Structure 1
């Protein structure tokens, strides 16, 4: 017998993850959020919106109340869930790591006890710490919320492809991570628009099953959306993975959290997820670059100025001009709002950024551009200036990590000539950079308990190709101009 639920109800997902300490929003906001939840599920039941031709329905989700999983309602009222048990306020929480320049790693952790020092002890044998590094700390207030003490400690120099054991704050549990290799092969996990739902948990479980050296996330992390305790629960949710491999992220629209005339944007994101922007010559945590094992990766900011008179544009131009394709034959860019998108969702939102910056990427022969924002998956052929171009970048949209807003189900038809594969399902990607010339990209749909490889392609690097000597050579003048 056909299900009485609409497709929207079947795919609506809830926030997931143990709530951490935090101050609750005022009661009127709680009631409004509850009302919106009920109204949105009623609207979903009435909509019956058509799905795209390439849509594959994901497996049925857990039981819901009016299309909204029980956990979603409980996350609005955090006092209805038990706080995570902690042996001590001085124990590290929400531990995650990121690259911090050549052969260095940044360890970030939070403590409720403000007297805990910002130190990390580490070594290559469990329980034996031969080195200690001291870092910095910060905290912030957001309306009625006060964060814990957020520690950032840079450790190193570190050996490549080596397991290190470490302890945060001078005591507490031991963690471990593995440094990336010095050269190929390199395996990168890629996920966007993650959130905190049961689909998020499936995505993280599937990423854990794949052997990866690093995770790349092109924006929209916690979906806290002003409710700061959800930043804490997100940190706890991702800690098992983010404490073992570097997570390199850039911001999305859900990180902004600005309040007109009262709060500037990205306060929580900048405090919690510090990236190596200073090491790359950037003046903003919202855009930066890094190098790892033959790959030069650039993380751009879709929600800060990017026109030709902006600091980000000037920085990008200078960063691309310095890239040495003999040392890093692969050039990859990540940003949040996609430039090539055949989904009805967020159509055209990346156009102005593309108009300003795509000529720079084309001039530098960027190999791959990865975006999020659209809650579906799509892979394009090499494109430039809205048309097929063998010297352009391969564009991939992967905003399907598991966020609470559900999937973007409707695609524009007919499919554009540049669009190769598109599907509205939750999942993650893997990029295996095999050598200086070949990389293997795969996208894995979340299907019940298993990640199912649904799209894969071999990509050739443009380094050393005829593109550098051919028609795109004229664009190099853009990078060299004052």
Structure 2
């Protein structure tokens, strides 16, 4: 081969390598990341959302009862053939505001008309990019029953998870036990992305953390509520990332799952009487109780209003007292059975309590039972200092790395457990019977 031929051949090889790397870069920017499932207020729906660096055209999800059906087709139309029928649903995309230093696009697709208690396989991607996620799966709830009928399920619950503090042990425990969970509740403080950029938040921390959680969030509905470390960028990053039920402009919502009514509200927003959020909570509880006087109602938000660590939030009568005097009264009036929160990095379970006094017991509760579960791990560590002696309403407290399991057994009984992340042993366990407050 002469010199000219060798030079031409070398340039050709370099061109191919560069072209290949360019394709890989483009594909990486269009690859679906941080894939999440979210329930809506309609039980036959499932929202699938994800993030890409670059635009992908029209975002879409293909889903089927058959994993093989998805492998066989990336068509934009229905592919019929028994259980291999493949459906494609288009969605919407929203770029982060140009006034921020966040880049990329969040995509969202809502699947409708799903069948109860059914496993679906899905992929997400874009009409132009033709870059798809791996094939994933989820299972729908049992909504083919009367509103008062409870179908047993188990949920994982925790708040205040971020890099550090052994959080990787909690993530590993959740993944290894994922088959038993129908839904996961993350009650605020998601990644602590505001640590070095308080106003705007650190997008790298946010995205990298959510990517670590993707084996969970892409397979089980991941229901969230905002914490004080999630309000950066004026709630925008949180609300664009987590497509919760109801209006995307407000960080509060409710839904009914397997016969249990869940209501989530924002302790980072105004809760004073006659505010928009307070009135919404009141209206939601009133409407549900009119139709379902005997059903379970479980509320969750970030900040607890019964806790007994030395943390300032628990000791000082500030916003905590306001929540107790406003939301606490609504909980009592409308028979809210359980309240799940985080914020303080410890675990605590109360007896049924109202106005700082125990009322009834776990077999005959006369007030809401409160759970604080801020122990999955983060860079701030655990809160190990407690108010001594423990208040009369505090039944169990510890500062062990872990998370909780909410086991709804039927319409009258719930089993609650606190699980250590490393040993995966039960640190606390309590049965509760459905109560009726006077």
Question: What TM bracket, shorter-length normalisation?
Answer: 0.7 to 0.9
Q: Which stretch shows the higher mean deviation, 312-321 or 176-185? A: 176-185
Q: Which position in structure 2 is the counterpart of 1:95?
A: 35
**Which one of 269, 292, 295 corresponds to residue 238 of structure 2?**
269
Q: Which position in structure 2 is the counterpart of 1:401?
A: 376
Are 1:275 and 1:285, in contact at CA under 8 Å, matched by a contact in 2? no
Displacement of 1:115: 3.1
Q: Which stretch shows the higher mean deviation, 136-145 or 244-253? A: 136-145
Q: Which position in structure 2 is the counterpart of 1:340?
A: 306
1:235 and 2:171 correspond:
no
Are 1:291 and 1:297, in contact at CA under 8 Å, matched by a contact in 2? yes
Are 1:90 and 1:116, in contact at CA under 8 Å, matched by a contact in 2? no
Are 1:180 and 1:214, in contact at CA under 8 Å, matched by a contact in 2? no
Displacement of 1:144: 6.2
1:159 and 2:97 correspond:
no
Task: Flag as ranges the 4+ runs of structure 1 deviating above 6 A.
Answer: none
Displacement of 1:209: 3.0
Alignment deviations for residues 100-145 of structure 1 (CA, whole Å, 9 cap, x no partner)? 2321011011112213322111111104252121211112147762
Q: TM-score, normalised by structure 2?
A: 0.81
Q: Which position in structure 1 is the counterpart of 2:19?
A: none
Change (3 A) 1:144 1:310: closer
Q: Which position in structure 2 is the counterpart of 1:110?
A: 51
Are 1:95 and 1:110, in contact at CA under 8 Å, matched by a contact in 2? yes
SS at match of 1:303: coil
Displacement of 1:194: 1.1
- What RMSD over aligned residues (CA atoms) do the two structures have, in Å? 2.0
SS at match of 1:169: strand
Higher Rg: 2
Displacement of 1:380: 0.3
Question: C-alpha separation between the residues in 1 aligned to 2:26 and 2:113?
Answer: 32
Displacement of 1:197: 2.6
**Which one of 144, 167, 180 corresponds to residue 141 of structure 2?**
180
SS at match of 2:329: helix
Change (3 A) 1:142 1:440: farther
Are 1:276 and 1:285, in contact at CA under 8 Å, matched by a contact in 2? no
Displacement of 1:86: 9.0
Question: C-alpha separation between the residues in 1 aligned to 2:374 and 2:337?
Answer: 20
Are 2:30 and 2:52, in contact at CA under 8 Å, matched by a contact in 1? yes
Displacement of 1:285: 3.3
Q: Which stretch shows the higher mean deviation, 403-412 or 111-120? A: 111-120
1:379 and 2:349 correspond:
yes
Are 1:99 and 1:275, in contact at CA under 8 Å, matched by a contact in 2? yes
Q: Which stretch shows the higher mean deviation, 165-174 or 95-104? A: 165-174
Question: C-alpha separation between the residues in 1 aligned to 2:65 and 2:33?
Answer: 22
Q: Which position in structure 2 is the counterpart of 1:209?
A: 176
Q: Which position in structure 2 is the counterpart of 1:31?
A: none
**Which one of 158, 161, 166 corresponds to residue 194 of structure 1?**
161
Are 1:116 and 1:169, in contact at CA under 8 Å, matched by a contact in 2? no
- Residue-pair matches, total: 370
Question: C-alpha separation between the residues in 2 aligned to 1:272 and 1:328?
Answer: 35
Question: C-alpha separation between the residues in 2 aligned to 1:96 and 1:115?
Answer: 18
Question: C-alpha separation between the residues in 1 aligned to 2:343 and 2:416?
Answer: 20
1:125 and 2:66 correspond:
yes
Question: C-alpha separation between the residues in 2 aligned to 1:441 and 1:168?
Answer: 35
